[in-house]
Amino acid sequence: MSRVNISNWRRHFSLLITSVVLLMSLLAGCGPSAGDLAAVDYEPLVRDDWEVSTPEEQGLDPALVARMYYNAAKLETIYSLLVVKDSKLIAEKYFNQGSVDELSKRASVTKSYTSALVGITLYQGYLESVDQRMIDFFPDIAGQVTDPRKKQITIRNMLEMRAGYPWEEKDDAAWDAMWSGEYLSKIAAIPLTADPGTRFQYSNLTAHWLGIIAARASGMDLMTLGKKYLFGPLGVVPGEDWNRDVDGYYIGCGDILFTTRDMAKFGLLYLDGGEYEGRRIIPADWVRESLQTYTVNEFELKKIGRFTDIGYGYQWWSAEVGKHHVNFAWGHGGQLIVLVHDLDMVVVTTADPFYGKDTHFDAWKYEEAIIKTVSEFIYSLPVD
């Protein structure tokens, strides 16, 4: 038997097994009926920006895809859900306030874009190394810094969330500072809660300062830098309402605006090692280093739905989902770009970002429900 025939046989066998498992659960009275699933519409819209296909054509059981969309329709705050397989858009649906052209704040998904722009800045020669010191890019603040440890923080520490600054949600002073809009002086003012390089601590301000470093090193603001080297080559246009701080720097830790389809292109770029439609946009080494897991099970949440062993790379998360390894960009409220490497798949969700100091902490139950829905789908898929 040829290698191609063996591969096809394995794929059909895997589809048969998953169909049998799904049928058994239906017969047991668990979940939607076969009729319910058959009625679910997730056919992608036909536009010029994506080649569309179907789950069947890309070797996926359509019932498994339908079940995810059936469950997603029950979610109160989700805006969109999109699946790309083998570089083709195979499923797409919009809910609640969502639409194909909808733009709202994608929250901390922005951090993964900022990481990409740091890598591009390095690739273009504006930066020398990720081991350059943070403080060297802030000579206007250096004289205010009294903690000698801050002078040892590197770009690498910042990318890995090991700079030593606290997670704002767990620190009242840092939380107030994050909503102040004035961030440069906070490099000196906010105390470290760990030695640089020693412990993972998720820090929005650290990610924002990374964006300022990319801007100062390149001599361009993040919007201009992105349009020249990232957004433009991908054929995407960010919303003009991307917030800036009081000093005019685009918020590197949040607030970027893209459509769901545009987010999927960014995910595909990383899934394909930094190339898009045959064009090198990000160095392959940067993509590989960004998607490494430098920290695992150090975040407060070690398991969400089927996501386990949650880890962190260069402003990208990682997790195990059954036998699948995933990386994901993750934003408040349920913004996700999930890379399922062994299946050559990208899953994207957008949702109400619950933007604002007063509504921020209302989001988790809705966000968790979105993550669980996506993770259950990925868990259900056979290993390719």
User: How far, in Å, CA of 94 to CA of 36, rounded?
Assistant: 18
Give ∠ CA 190-196-201 in degrees, rounded to 5: 70
Largest CA distance in the chain: 71
Q: Which of 205, 234, 263 is the last residue of a domain?
A: 234
Residues 6+ apart with CB under 8 A from 331: 106, 107, 108, 109, 110, 254, 353
Mean pLDDT, range 206-218, rounded to an integer? 98
CATH code, 308: 3.40.710.10
pLDDT > 90 fraction of the chain, expressed in percent and rounded: 90
Three-state DSSP at 336 gives: strand
Residues 100 and 202 in one domain: no
Evaluate whether residue 366 is within a structural domain.
yes
Evaluate whether residue 244 is within a structural domain.
no
Residues 168 and 209 in one domain: yes
| pLDDT tens column, 82-96 | 999 999 999 999 999
Residues 226 and 120 in one domain: yes
Q: What does the pLDDT read at residue 12?
A: 52
Neighbouring CB atoms inside 10 A of 74's CB total 10
| pLDDT tens column, 109-152 | 999 999 999 999 999 999 999 999 999 999 999 999 999 999 99
Question: Of 119, 201, 215, 106, nearest to 160 (Cα)?
Answer: 201
User: How far, in Å, CA of 37 to CA of 15, rounded?
Assistant: 16
Confidence of residue 4 (pLDDT cuts 50, 70, 90): very low
Token readout for 143 is 């004289």
- Give me the number of domains the chain comprises: 3
Q: CB under 8 Å, gap of 24 or more: what pairs does 10-18 form?
A: 11/59, 11/384, 14/382, 14/383, 14/384, 15/59, 15/60, 15/61, 15/382, 17/382, 18/61, 18/64, 18/380, 18/381, 18/382
Residues 129 and 97 in one domain: no
Evaluate whether residue 37 is within a structural domain.
yes
| pLDDT tens column, 298-341 | 998 899 999 999 999 999 999 999 999 999 999 999 999 999 99
Evaluate whether residue 215 is within a structural domain.
yes
Q: Which amino acid is at 376?
A: E
Full residue range of the structural domain in which residue 227 is found: 109-234
Residues 184 and 100 in one domain: no
Chain CA centroid to CA 79, Å:
16
Token readout for 382 is 């056979």
Evaluate whether residue 356 is within a structural domain.
yes
Residues 305 and 374 in one domain: yes
